[in-house]
Structure 1
Amino acid sequence: MKLAELTIGQEATISSLKQLDGSTRKKLMVMGILPNTPVTLVRKAPMGDPLQVRVRDVSVAIRKSTAEQISVEVA
């Protein structure tokens, strides 16, 4: 499943960032978005882009196109 497919309030664990290009992956990892990290979808903008996610008690806005490249596992 992809991060962009989560419903609001749904929790998952990041499983892979391998589909992202190197610079984007590095930026996300600096913000705490790492494999095996729990993530919660907080809200989606009215047009569906960007998405607000909570990672390690920090809210981060991510473009939908980027979230579609992040693999997650729902518990």
Structure 2
Amino acid sequence: MSLVERFVSRRCATAQALADGTTRSLDTLPVGVAATIAAFDSDDAVARRLFDLGFMPGEPVVPLRRAPLGDPLMFRVGGIEIVLRRAEARRILVAA
């Protein structure tokens, strides 16, 4: 297991993080409201892909735009703009 894979697996959400109510999924964050990435609610492969795109725990993220039907969504993270499907954004937990 690589260093990145170990980091990502430690950052995947636990039942406690989901139950305490301090986190919410990124797809529910209103446009223009900044939050901090807390964890991933997904398997290691998806979490690794999101991590590679720049969605790292501790990074600030801001939703910029939503498509007319709500999918896809555009975010600013790490100084770049990235578009994700709603299903992918739902797997990222943030603390506002």
TM > 0.5: yes
Where structure 2 has 5 or more consecutive residues not aligned to the other structure, the ranges are 1-23
Q: For structure 1, which segment, 23-32 or 46-55, has the greater mean C-alpha deviation from structure 2 after superposition?
A: 23-32
Aligned to 2:64: 42
Runs of 4+ in 1 over 6 A off after TM superposition: none
Q: Which runs of 5+ in 1 are unaligned?
A: none
Q: Sequence identity of aligned pairs in percent? A: 34
Residue matched to 1:4? 27
TM-score normalised per structure 1: 0.90
User: Could you tell me which amino acid in structure 2 is paired with residue 29 of structure 1?
Assistant: F
Per-residue deviation, residues 44-71 of structure 1 (Å, max 9, x unmatched): 1111011100001100111101111211
Q: CA deviation at 1:21?
A: 2.1
Larger radius of gyration: 2
Greater strand proportion:
1
Q: Which has the higher contact order (CA 8 A, sep 6+)?
A: 1
Counterpart in 2 of 1:30? 52
